[in-house]
Chain A
Amino acid sequence: SDIPDVPPPTDSTPEILKRALSGLSARWKNWWIRGILSLAMISGFFLIIYLGSFMLMLLVLSIQVKCYHEIITIGYRVYHSYDLPWFRSLSWYFLLCVNYFFYGETVADYFATFVQRREQLQFLIRYHRFISFALYLTGFCMFVLSLVKKHYRLQFYMFAWTHVTLLITVTQSHLVIQNLFEGMIWFLVPISSVICNDITAYIFGFFFGRTPLIKLSPKKTWEGFIGGFFSTVVFGFIFSYFLAQHQYFVCPVEYNSETNRFVTECEPSELFQMKKYSVPPLLQAVLGWETVNMYPFQMHSFALSTFASLIGPFGGFFASGFKRAFKIKDFADTIPGHGGIMDRFDCQYLMATFVHVYITSFIRGPNPSKLLKQLLILQPEQQLSVYKTLKSHLVEKGILQPSLRG
């Protein structure tokens, strides 16, 4: 009884494309539309990369808002909740609160020098958690006050739906931005690996596909899965090789307070300096080389591509299951031929979290500027004792000469 009607497919293809392809049959027309849009999206991606980190951040934020909107709209449709009092405002309010909380945490870290100069920002940063919590509580209390006798269950469903959606989309998008600040390469290689896996798995499946992979997605095949895995790994290697050579991609994004812009300039870390690796005897016979010059990052790209090919698709299966559960064909009709933004990004979620966890576990330690900020908040006597501990540690390691002013 609560199964919604499948909305009639709305055709959002631009007029210009329709006229250009009017001569072809419907089947080829669909393929052309899908292909052209793929190309358009990839070009758009390159353009934004060219425009820099700030544009990328804006892009990630817009995608997050659109994904959130799409999922909430589905929730509305499923529960026929168009006229629940307050609920649209509350959903957007919660999105705002959670974004405020997350951006405040990241912005405060990376823009430390910018923030130190302005008094009002200092106050906001110091009590950031409290302010975010107060904002969230306001939303929570408004929700409780908005409970209406007839609609209790619906309202609780939508509350939970909102929160799960926030958990999925907003945390992922912030992890993506954290990865971005680590270095554009940590943003580009994972996303490209997932896209490559999508495309090559489709191609391999198209040409060689025979054994179905999972009941959830009948179009996926084992041949596509395995072929996609190998091609993605190779692609990852080659792509990281090219990106690792440019400072623009490799350096952490920093905010330069003098020029008020983002800069990516640094001494490339060890990860991005060529090293000689001995090829294992097994591969020596195959490849014919004894040693190979590689960037250490390429080993990491191997891990990233493997995850993108083997576990990434589970995000896609999850989304397929979700669509079947709620009997919808696509999340939305934003992109002609492809569906909604969520349809394109369903495999990316797990990837973003994985890359973030990978970086914090294996690549870098804590963020120095965040550490500094916390040190400066301590009480003076705590600062003094920390100072003494650090000094003795540095002297012990020989990093600091005891007699010099250091």
Chain B
Amino acid sequence: MPPKTPGDVSHVFTPVYQPEYFLLLPLWCRSRVVESESENKLDGETASDSESKSEFGGSSPVPTSDDTPEVLNRALSNLSSRWKNWWVRGILTLAMITFFFIIIYLGPMVLMTIVMCVQIKCFHEIITIGYNVYHSYDLPWFRTLSWYFLLCVNYFFYGETVTDYFFTLVQREEPLRILSKYHRFISFALYLTGFCMFVLSLVKKHYRLQFYMFGWTHVTLLIVVTQSHLIIHNLFEGMIWFIVPISCVICNDIMAYMFGFFFGRTPLIKLSPKKTWEGFIGGFFSTVLFGLLLSYVMSGYRCFTCPVEFNNDTNSFTVDCEPSELFQLQEYNIPVVLQSVVGWKTVRMYPFQIHSIALSTFASLIGPFGGFFASGFKRAFKIKDFANTIPGHGGIMDRFDCQYLMATFVNVYIASFIRGPNPSKLIQQFLTLRPDQQLHIFNTLKAHLVDRGILGSLEDA
């Protein structure tokens, strides 16, 4: 094993991460408490951990088309091809993680844009596979129709989200107001147009292929587009709800691989012969631990825990608020069982860390099923990777296959256990009701508040 120091590749690939970056105030994060020590240490650990992990990076065979940038090719030209692959994979892993940190630093708007780009690329990859599978390069209209449906569904979803979060902005501008009032109707009309075009484009020889591709497009939209919008919903809830789940899945991937590499013996599932039970369980415990630590660090910063809001006066996103109960330290009694192990009687934790246990558990136990699904899919259609976008890793979909279920889970989790409905959205709906309905609701609410003692007797509070 050749000795490896970060200096080996520093002349071609200078890590963008430098400690002092995190001392600067990110533009989108107004009042950030600078606790440089602990954060730098943790991030330093993460980055260097991944750097050292990269030596043991994946040992997949050479992809058929070599996308590796020339610069890397030259740098690694003297190594054997096996080590070269490991290096390529490791460097790309590091690059992706660094990229992740950069865009977090850049703020919610950039994150939204990135999510959107990833979604479009995933859609493109899956549709291209469909084309290849069905030799459908020359179906009339179909490329156009697939992209048109993507546009329609995105328009529908973004319209729904945008109207909620940008309510005041939308009300001010007249064309936006009409678009938002009749949003469902407009989206439906757009979709119908696509549907009718599809029906009119049916050609006698290609009926079955065209229906297959129609079905393929719709299932892809269902998977890719809904997930990406749920991710954006989670993001608006607070950056921590975006970062912790994604990091847990990434950590689980890496740790399961590590444990599998060192201790792996019992195969897990026939679909993915490289996965082992040891990796699975080891990954589970490490991910839970990682989740606890990461949430502990992040809960201290308002920029991560506050919901993203759109400030109408400055026309930009602000992340500033009074931290909710979830992000305030509390004393917890350690159950007697653990007291002897850990030696403490009570521990100070953020309530959010308890939730992070649930998130990490899901990421480790159920998230891999998304990966198995994608593996089964690749075997079914006899493809090795979804695409060749990332050298050493395959396509974007290959990286994101475990994330899908995670995004939906986090969204359902938030909606069920964390927050209730959005009060401003409720008020907005209330204002569109008829007067007698408004009165009825008002009276019922009043009676309810009086009942609970929140409102003093029959007097106005």
Contact = CB atoms under 8 A, between A and B. Distances in A.
A321 interface: yes
Interface string B407-427: 011001101110011010011
Nearest to A161: B215
A243 to B, nearest CB: 23
A129 B413 CA distance: 9
B369 A324 contact: no
A260 interface: no
A322 B182 contact: no
B377 A156 contact: yes
B432 A160 contact: no
Contacts of B208: 325-326
B228 interface: no
A368 interface: yes
Contacts of A126: 416
Which interface residue of A144, A322, A385, A397 has the most chain B CB atoms within 10 A? Answer: A144
A216 B427 contact: no
Given A215-B204, A384-B461, A350 B192 contact: yes
A144 B372 contact: yes
A371 B441 CA distance: 8
B165 interface: no
Contacts of A390: 427, 430, 438, 441-442, 445
Interface in B360-384: 366, 369, 372-373, 376-377, 379-381
Interface in B171-203: 181-182, 184-185, 188, 192, 195-196, 198-200, 202
Contacts of B442: 387, 390-391, 394, 400, 406
A384 B188 contact: no
Interface in A104-141: 126-127, 129-130, 133, 137, 140-141
Nearest to A130: B416
Interface string A345-372: 0000010011001101110011010011
A387 B449 contact: yes
Interface in B427-458: 427, 429-435, 437-446, 448-449, 452, 454-455, 458
A397 B434 CA distance: 12
A25 to B, nearest CB: 33
B376 A405 contact: no
A365 B429 contact: yes
Nearest to A393: B431
Given A164-B219, A365-B432, A374-B426, A137 B199 contact: no
B435 A387 contact: no
B366 A141 contact: yes
A292 interface: no
Interface residues of B, number: 72
Interface string A144-182: 110101001101100011011001000000000000000
A39 interface: no
B277 interface: no
Given A324-B207, A380-B452, A357 B184 contact: yes
Contacts of B420: 374, 377-379, 382
A77 B210 CA distance: 19
Contacts of A383: 445, 448-449, 454
B41 interface: no
A397 B219 contact: no
Report which residue of B380, B405, B443 has the largest number of chain A beta carbons within 10 angstroms of its beta carbon: B380
A152 B379 contact: yes
A339 to B, nearest CB: 19
A41 interface: no
A388 interface: yes
B412 A130 contact: yes
18 contacts: A126-B416, A129-B416, A153-B380, A160-B219, A215-B204, A326-B208, A372-B441, A376-B445, A380-B452, A383-B449, A384-B449, A384-B461, A387-B445, A387-B461, A390-B441, A390-B445, A391-B460, A394-B439
Interface of B: 181-182, 184-185, 188, 192, 195-196, 198-200, 202, 204, 207-208, 210-211, 215-216, 218-219, 222, 269-271, 366, 369, 372-373, 376-377, 379-381, 405, 408-409, 412-413, 415-417, 420-421, 423, 426-427, 429-435, 437-446, 448-449, 452, 454-455, 458, 460-461
Given A144-B271, A324-B207, A384-B454, 15 more contacts: A130-B417, A140-B405, A141-B369, A144-B372, A152-B376, A160-B215, A318-B195, A325-B210, A360-B184, A361-B184, A371-B426, A378-B421, A378-B423, A383-B448, A393-B431
Interface of A: 126-127, 129-130, 133, 137, 140-141, 143-145, 147, 149, 152-153, 155-156, 160-161, 163-164, 167, 214-216, 311, 314, 317-318, 321-322, 324-326, 350, 353-354, 357-358, 360-362, 365-366, 368, 371-372, 374-380, 382-391, 393-394, 397, 399-400, 405-406
